[in-house]
Amino acid sequence: MKYLVVLCDGMGDLPIPALGGRTAMEAAVKPHIDRLARSAEVGLCDTSNGRKPGSDVANMMVLGYDPRVYHTGRSPLEAASIGVPMTERDVTLRCNLVTLSEEPDYEARTMIDYSAGEISTGEAARLIEALQSELGTDARAFYAGVSYRHCLLLRGRRADGSRPNLGTTPPHDISLQKIAAHLPADPELLLLQKESARILADHEVNRARRAAGKRPANSAWFWGEGTKPQLADFAEKYGVRGCMITAVDLLRGIGVLAGLTNIDVPGATGNIDTNYRGKGEAAIRAFRDGADFVYIHIEAPDECGHRGEPEAKAAAIGDIDRYIVGPVADYLAASGEAHKILVMPDHYTPVSARTHTAEPVPYIIYDSRRPGQGVSSFTEAAAAATGRFVTVGYTLMDRFIKE
């Protein structure tokens, strides 16, 4: 038996006026997903279970991990991907490189862009190097990740064994808002953010970006604090050998901790310009080489939601269908081997809200051995209309693999 998961990050949405009152899923051209949906189990799944909706908790749930047991914060999952050495006494935080407005008073600034115009990994590495050079100490260190996503390690910060609560806010939650009410409550972090703005303001990378008409990465922004995590081995838990295909450190870190093999795809990014075709081809190669389970994560719909771009979000869903779901589903069908396919978002990222929301998400489970009576098109409303509801998100993987 082969198992394919296609996780369309942030795909769920609310009706969008710019799309004629349709959601991005309703507007997208996705014949392959809809074909599967017509013969699949379709329903809704709660992937937050009372927690703040986010890709860390939701993807852990989709993979079958109870966040009450395994979740220690978002940043430590990314740190595992980057290779940040952590002890039980350490704390890590996500370090975004962001674009703030440039008033003299830091507190008076506005969050212009949580990704600094999707800064390139090479440019970002030079900026993180500058922060480490001036702000790194024996007690803290900066580690470069991908694009705007990086890590700050605070060594020994958890000396008393308590869980960290540093009063941070995800920057994508406050797009185009004043930052004063959302600054870290922790004095050290607030000082580091202000110092980062001083260091980065006139860095040569930002001078070149301004000259090219691009947004400068003129501040660090810390959030997603957490402590060293540990996940049960996925192969031992479910009896299948698997791999993870993703462009973002969060999912790569989950893969590392779960014992899944991470597969690099050239040209894969965390945005709409990702190499969709390459991800689909990588999945086919993985199955051909003996993998039982392939988890493909695509960030593009989420990024479009955060940026308030409905047409781009619908286009991203169409590209997932055309270059990933269609070819991989066709390969599995032609192989003659029994297979199951799960397609779903991890959470909603409505373009109207530009952040994550906690609605139960639609899913389809297609089983080649037992084609069922599904729905004509895979949408939020169609999934809700089935009346099928998985109330505890981390049980969906048991339903997918074991049942």
Within 13 Å of residue 354, how many CA atoms lie on the same side as its CB?
15
Kindly tell me if the per-residue pLDDT of 403 is higher than 90.
no
CB 67 within 8 A of CB 51: yes
Q: Which pLDDT tens digit goes with each residue over 344-382?
A: 999 999 999 999 999 999 999 999 999 888 999 999 999
Predicted local distance difference test score (pLDDT) of residue 158: 78
Rounded mean pLDDT, 267-275: 92
Sorting pLDDT into bands at 50, 70 and 90, what band is 162? low
Predicted local distance difference test score (pLDDT) of residue 81: 92
DSSP 177-241: SBSGGGS-SSHHHHHHHHHHHHHHTT-HHHHHHHHTTPPP--EEEEEEEE-------HHHHHS--
Predicted local distance difference test score (pLDDT) of residue 159: 54
- CA angle, residues 91, 92, 93, in degrees to nearest 5: 130
Q: Which of 250, 351, 236 has the alpha carbon at shortest distance from 295? A: 250
Mode of pairing for the β-strands spanning 140-146 and 149-154: antiparallel
Long-range (24+ apart) CB contacts under 8 A made by 268-272 are 269/118, 269/147, 269/299, 270/146, 270/147, 270/149, 270/299, 270/300, 270/303, 271/118, 271/299, 271/300, 271/303, 272/300, 272/303, 272/304, 272/312, 272/315, 272/316, 272/319
Q: Which pLDDT tens digit goes with each residue over 185-244?
A: 999 999 999 999 999 999 999 999 999 999 999 999 999 999 998 999 999 999 999 999
Predicted TM-score of the model (pTM): 0.88
d(CA 383, CA 389): 9
Question: The dihedral of CA 128, 129, 134, 138: what is its sign?
Answer: positive
Q: Which two tokens stand for residue 218?
A: 């003129």
Q: Which two tokens stand for residue 162?
A: 């308590």
Q: Residue with structure tokens 């479009």?
A: 304
Q: Which two tokens stand for residue 236?
A: 């031992």
CATH of domain 2-71+230-401: 3.40.720.10
Bridge-partner residues for 315, per DSSP? none
Report domain extents, the chain. 2-71+230-401, 80-226
Sorting pLDDT into bands at 50, 70 and 90, what band is 52? confident
Percent of the chain predicted with pLDDT > 70? 99
Predicted local distance difference test score (pLDDT) of residue 163: 61
Q: Which pLDDT tens digit goes with each residue over 61-105?
A: 999 999 999 999 899 999 999 999 999 999 999 999 999 999 999
d(CA 315, CA 301): 9
Long-range (24+ apart) CB contacts under 8 A made by 62-65 are 62/5, 62/7, 62/344, 62/346, 62/393, 62/396, 62/397, 63/234, 63/254, 63/258, 63/295, 63/397, 64/234, 64/237, 64/238, 64/394, 64/395, 64/396, 64/397, 64/398, 65/231, 65/232, 65/258, 65/394
